[in-house]
Chains A and B, each alone.
Chain A
C-alpha cells in the first residue's frame, strides 16, 4: 500500500497534544505548591511552574486551533495551502516553544502575566502566525460564499495577530509610563486574545457539527451568523469587566458592563434549545467525538452562567481577585476549549466515524473521570474563591497568610481532582497519539 504522508493538520494536532501532556505535568506540579509550600521551591518553584503550565496549556489551545483550521480548510477549500509556509510555521512554533520553556526553566522572565517570556520570543510566534494568515487567505479567497465558521476562523486569526502585537505595546515607554493605561491595555489584550482563539475553536465546533450531520445547515443559518456577530461584538468591547476596580476612565467600565450583559442572549438561547440538545445527545451518544462536543455544551452553560454573574460589577466586587476567577479560567479552557479540541482530534487524527463500541473501555471511563474531576475541581476553586471573597469584604480581617491556611481543605480537594484530570486527560491524549501512529503503521504495512 502507498505510504501515507504526514498531514499538516495532524502535525499541528499532534504537537498540540504533546503540549497538552507537558501542560498537565507542569499543572500537577504547580498544584502541589499550593498544599506543600516548599515543594521544588529552590529548583523551579511556583514562579516557574505557573508560566510553564500556562504557556503549555495556551500552546495546546492555539496550536490545536491551528490544526483544526488546516483540517477544515483541506475539506472545504478548493485550493491547497502552501506546504513550505505551513512547515515553516511549524518550525517557528517549535523554536518559540523551546526558547520559552528553556527561559522559564532558567528563571528568565520579562513579559506580562500569561506571556511571561522575554519579548524576543514573541517574534517567532508572530512570524509563524503570518505564515498561517498567508495560508488561510490563499485557500479561503477561492470560496465564494463563506459559511459562518470561515468567518469565525478569519476573525480569530486576524484578531489574534492584532491583539498579540498590541500585547507588546508596553515595550514603548509612552505606554508603560502611565500605569493605569498600561494595565487597561494589558487586560484589553488578555480579554480579546481569549476571544480570538475562542472564535477559532467555536468555529471548529460549527464545522464539526456540519460535518457530522453531513449538511451545511448549521454553518449557513441566520442564527449562527447572529451569534457570531454577537460574539465578535463581545470580543471587541466586553473586556472592561476585568478591570472594574481599576481607576481607569469610567466609560471603559460602562462599555464593558453593558456589552457583557448582551451575552445573556447566548445564555437564554442555550436554555431555549436545551430540549433539542438533549434529543441530539440521545441520538448521537454512540458517536465518540460528539460526546466531547456535547460535554462542551454543558460546560458552556455552567461557565457562561458564572461569567455573566461575574460581569455584574456588584458581584464582581466580591469575586474579583479570588479563585472564582481561576475556576472560570480553568472551566473554560478545559471544559470548553479542550473538549472541542478533543472532538476535532478524534475527527481528524482518529478518523472518528466509528461507534463508541470501537473505543476501549478505559477511554469511555476516562471521559467520565474527566467530567467528574473537572466538576469537583471547578467547585473546589469556586468554594475557595467564595471564602476569600468573604474575607476580603470582612471588617475584621485575619492576615492573608492565615486566610490562605484556612483554604487548605479546598486546595487539597483541588489537588485530588487535579490528579483525576491529569490521569483522564493524559489517557485521552495518549490514546489519540497511539491510535494515530498505529493506524499509520497498519496502513503502510
Chain B
C-alpha cells in the first residue's frame, strides 16, 4: 500500500502547480496599458466592498440574493448614469440610502462598466453541450 504521506505530498504539489497557473493569468494581459479608467474601475471594486454591495447584489450570479444581478447593468439602456446615482442616494426597498461621494459614485460606475465589458451573465445566452457542459452562444 502506498504510504499516505506520498499521496498527500503528490496532491499538494499538483494543487500548488494548479494554483500558480491561475495566479499567473493576469500576466497574459498587458497591464502597462492600464489607464485612468481602469484605475478608477479598480478603485470602484473597493467601493463595492466598502459599502458591502455584495451582501444583496450579484456579479455573474455570485453574491447576495435580495437585489438583482448587476453584471450587465451598464448595458441596460433604461438605466442612465444619473438614474443609477439617484437610486444609490435614495435607496429602495431593503436597500438603504447611501451617502457616497461623487468620486466614489463615479468609481463604482466605472467598475460596473468594466464588469459589463467582460461578458454577459444572462443564463439564457448559454447552450448545453452533449457532455452536460455549458457554452456561451456566439
Q: Which of B81-89, B100-108, B122-130 has 4 or more CB atoms under 8 Å from chain A? A: B122-130
Inter-chain contacts of A181 with B (CB < 8 A): 22, 25-26
* Binary B-proximity of A30-49 (CB < 8 A = 1, otherwise 0): 00011001100110011110
A41, A184, A395 — most chain B CB neighbours (10 Å) = A41
Find out whether the CB atom of B64 lies under 8 angstroms from the CB atom of A229. Answer: no
A310-362 with Cβ < 8 A to chain B: 312-314, 316-318, 320-323, 326
Interface residue tally of chain B, by bracket? 35 or more
A375 at the A/B interface (Cβ < 8 Å)? no
B18, B31, B128, B134 — most chain A CB neighbours (10 Å) = B134
Inter-chain contacts of A166 with B (CB < 8 A): 19
B78 → chain A closest CB, angstroms: 11
State which of A41, A243, A318, A393 has its C-beta within 8 Å of the C-beta of B94: A41
A376 at the A/B interface (Cβ < 8 Å)? no
B14 at the A/B interface (Cβ < 8 Å)? yes
With known contacts A236-B11, A321-B69, A51–B55 Cβ distance under 8 A: yes
Residue in A closest to B45 when the chains form the complex, CB atoms: A176
Find out whether the CB atom of A183 lies under 8 angstroms from the CB atom of B59. Answer: yes
State which of B56, B68, B69, B128 has its C-beta within 8 Å of the C-beta of A47: B56
A442 at the A/B interface (Cβ < 8 Å)? no
B interface majority secondary structure: mixed
State which of A113, A178, A188, A313 has its C-beta within 8 Å of the C-beta of B26: A178
B93 at the A/B interface (Cβ < 8 Å)? yes
Interface residue tally of chain A, by bracket? 35 or more
* Binary B-proximity of A153-175 (CB < 8 A = 1, otherwise 0): 00100000000001001000111
A110 at the A/B interface (Cβ < 8 Å)? yes
Number of A-B contacts (CB under 8 A): 161
A46 and B93 CA atoms in complex are apart in Å by 11
A225 at the A/B interface (Cβ < 8 Å)? yes
B38-96 with Cβ < 8 A to chain A: 38, 41-42, 45-46, 49-52, 54-56, 58-69, 93-94, 96
A177 at the A/B interface (Cβ < 8 Å)? yes
Inter-chain contacts of A174 with B (CB < 8 A): 26, 31
Inter-chain contacts of A38 with B (CB < 8 A): 94
Find out whether the CB atom of A112 lies under 8 angstroms from the CB atom of B115. Answer: no
Find out whether the CB atom of B132 lies under 8 angstroms from the CB atom of A50. Answer: no
Find out whether the CB atom of B133 lies under 8 angstroms from the CB atom of A254. Answer: yes
A320 and B119 CA atoms in complex are apart in Å by 17
* Binary B-proximity of A231-263 (CB < 8 A = 1, otherwise 0): 011001100001111110100111101000000
Find out whether the CB atom of B115 lies under 8 angstroms from the CB atom of A179. Answer: yes
| A–B complex contacts, Cβ < 8 Å, 30 sampled | A47-B52, A47-B96, A48-B52, A50-B56, A51-B52, A110-B46, A155-B8, A169-B23, A174-B31, A175-B26, A176-B42, A178-B25, A178-B29, A179-B41, A179-B114, A181-B22, A185-B22, A232-B8, A236-B18, A243-B62, A245-B121, A245-B123, A313-B133, A314-B132, A314-B133, A314-B134, A317-B128, A320-B123, A322-B65, A395-B124
The residues of A with any CB-CB pair to B shorter than 8 Å are 33-34, 37-38, 41-42, 45-48, 50-51, 107, 109-113, 116, 146, 151, 155, 166, 169, 173-188, 222, 225, 229, 232-233, 236-237, 242-247, 249, 252-255, 257, 312-314, 316-318, 320-323, 326, 392-393, 395, 400-401, 404
With A109-B52, A392-B123 given, name 10 new contacts (CB 8 A).
A50-B64, A51-B52, A110-B46, A110-B50, A146-B4, A155-B8, A177-B31, A188-B19, A229-B4, A321-B62
